[in-house]
Structures are given as C-alpha cells and as structure tokens.
Amino acid sequence: MTASDQGRASASRETLERGSTPVIAIDGPAASGKGTVALGVADQLGFHYLESGSLYRLVGLAALQDRIALDDEERVAEAAKGLEAAFDGGRIRLRGADVTDAIRSEAVGSAASRVAVFPAVRTALLSGQRAFRRPPGLVAEGRDMGTVVFPDALVKIYVTATPEARAMRRYNQLIEKGNSVIIEGLLRDIRERDARDSARAVAPLRVAADAIVLDTTDMTIGESVVFVLEKYRAAIGKAGR
C-alpha cells in the first residue's frame, strides 16, 4: 500500500467511525462526463445526488434575468443568497418556473463560470451544498467537491478528457437538442473556461491531493461508472479492516 493509499484508508476509517454519511466527490472540467458518471454511480448505490454546477447556473440565470452585471460581485452574491430554487423529480425550478433546459444553454454556462469566481457567491452557496449530505450517502459532482465542499469525502475522483473529446461531446448534445453550433467555437469556449476555472483565486479547479484521476477520453459511461464503484468498494473494504 502506498503512502497515499494509507492516507485514504485512514481518512475512510475516521469518516466511518464518526458515523458520517459517506460522500463520493467527483470533480472535473466541463463536458468531461463527470455528471453522467456521477448520476450512474448514485443510481447504482441508491445515493443522493448533487450537481453543484446547477446551483451556479441558477445564479447565473438569475443574474441574466435581473440584468445584473456579471462582474458586480455584491449584487450577484445577493442573488445567490436569495436564490428561489427547487429540485423536483429531475426538474429544476427558479422562482417557480421550470428552467431545467434553460440552465443548459451556453450563455448560462458562461455566466455561471463568471459568477463562480466570486468568494461571496461561493460562500453563499456552501451551506446549501453541504445540506445535500444525508443517509444513505451522497455523490457530489462539480469542480471543488473534493477540495472545498467535502474535503473528508470517502472517495475523490477527478474526471477528465481531452479538450477535443469534450468539445465533441458538447457538440453532439447541442445538436441533439436542435441547436446550431460550430465545434471550433465550442472548443475555444471549453479552453477559455478551463483557464478561467483553474485560475480563479477561490476554490480553483484542481486535482485534490488524494483524488484518483479518471480519463474518460476513450471510455464508455458504463466503464467509467464501474471504475468509480470499484474505487468506492475498495475504500469501504480498507476502512473496515
């Protein structure tokens, strides 16, 4: 067992001994497949699921609807504090309106990335994210789940893929929904978003020291889900020794 493995095993034992609800933290850049993988893992284990990015997308959408300048940290943070959001049966609502599809637009995604750099916005949403942790367990997906929101997660996975593969996935998703897009533009947007998310001063996108990297470039969703499940079961086994 390596030093990092021993550290993970020790953390796992401490988490389970405290009786804490187990968390699988799955982080990674846009269009890496982390959301689909996280959903698959949550379904297999019967765990709750948190897509943290949807909260930032909701803040971005609220700011756009209210014509709040995306560089106005104070007003955007106020919007985050008063966010009237609801998650119901796979649908997402903002102020009572179904915005499940609206928050997936490129404009809202870009707005979410811009408002996510503000410390006040991240602080406003932190307690809400942690409230998703309840029995029997949680699969939390985002960009700082393992580094900031759930640093004591039983398993931390960093999902990645090449920018080209990610751009193609996003292209196919948008085409299926009837959108007209140019893949070169998507690739540029992905690279710019990666740079912005990695360079922000608060909770930047990075691989946690004790995270396991999963490159999904040449993997199917099923293979990726199995990979995470195997790591989770291994962690449970080590914690029980």
Q: Give residue-wise pLDDT tens across range 37-82.
A: 999 999 999 999 998 989 999 999 999 999 999 999 999 999 999 9
What's the maximum distance between 2 C-alpha atoms anywhere in the chain?
55
Same domain, 101 and 212: no
Same domain, 72 and 109: yes
Indicate whether 9 pLDDT > 70: no
- Per-residue pLDDT tens digits for 174-214: 888 888 889 999 999 999 989 988 888 778 889 999 999 99
Query: Which residues, 6 or more positions from 53, have their beta carbon under 8 angstroms from its beta carbon?
Result: 35, 112, 141, 142, 143
Same domain, 141 and 212: yes
Among the listed ranges 5-19, 122-136, 142-156, which one has the minimum average pLDDT value? 5-19
Query: Which residues, 6 or more positions from 148, have their beta carbon under 8 angstroms from its beta carbon?
Result: 122, 126, 203
Alpha carbons 81 and 91: distance in angstroms, whole number:
21
Same domain, 23 and 61: no
The pTM (predicted TM-score) of the whole model is 0.81
84, 111, 135: which is the final residue of a domain? Answer: 135
Same domain, 20 and 71: no
**What is the span of the domain harbouring residue 82?**
52-135
Task: Report pLDDT for 17.
Answer: 44
Name the H helices within 82-117: 106-115
| Number of domains present in the structure of the chain | 2
Indicate whether 146 pLDDT > 70: yes
- Per-residue pLDDT tens digits for 93-138: 999 999 999 998 889 988 998 998 899 999 999 988 998 999 999 9
φ and ψ at 143, to 5 degrees? -120, -15
Task: Report pLDDT for 193.
Answer: 86
Same domain, 122 and 144: no
φ and ψ at 165, to 5 degrees? -65, -40
Task: Report pLDDT for 36.
Answer: 93
135, 150, 169: which is the final residue of a domain? Answer: 135
Same domain, 221 and 232: yes
Same domain, 71 and 175: no
Same domain, 59 and 112: yes
Identify the sign of the CA torsion 63, 68, 73, 74. Answer: negative
Q: What is the arithmetic mean of pLDDT over 34-39?
A: 94
Work out the pLDDT band at 27, boundaries 50, 70, 90: very high
CATH number of the domain where residue 78 is located: 3.40.50.300
Task: Report pLDDT for 178.
Answer: 85
Indicate whether 8 pLDDT > 60: no
Task: Report pLDDT for 238.
Answer: 83
Same domain, 193 and 222: yes
Task: Report pLDDT for 11.
Answer: 44
What's the angle, vertex CA 30, arms to CA 202 and CA 230, rounded to 5? Answer: 95
Q: What is the arithmetic mean of pLDDT over 1-29?
A: 61
Same domain, 95 and 78: yes
Q: Which of 228, 238, 234 is nearest to 44 (CA)?
A: 228
Query: Which residues, 6 or more positions from 128, have their beta carbon under 8 angstroms from its beta carbon?
Result: 55
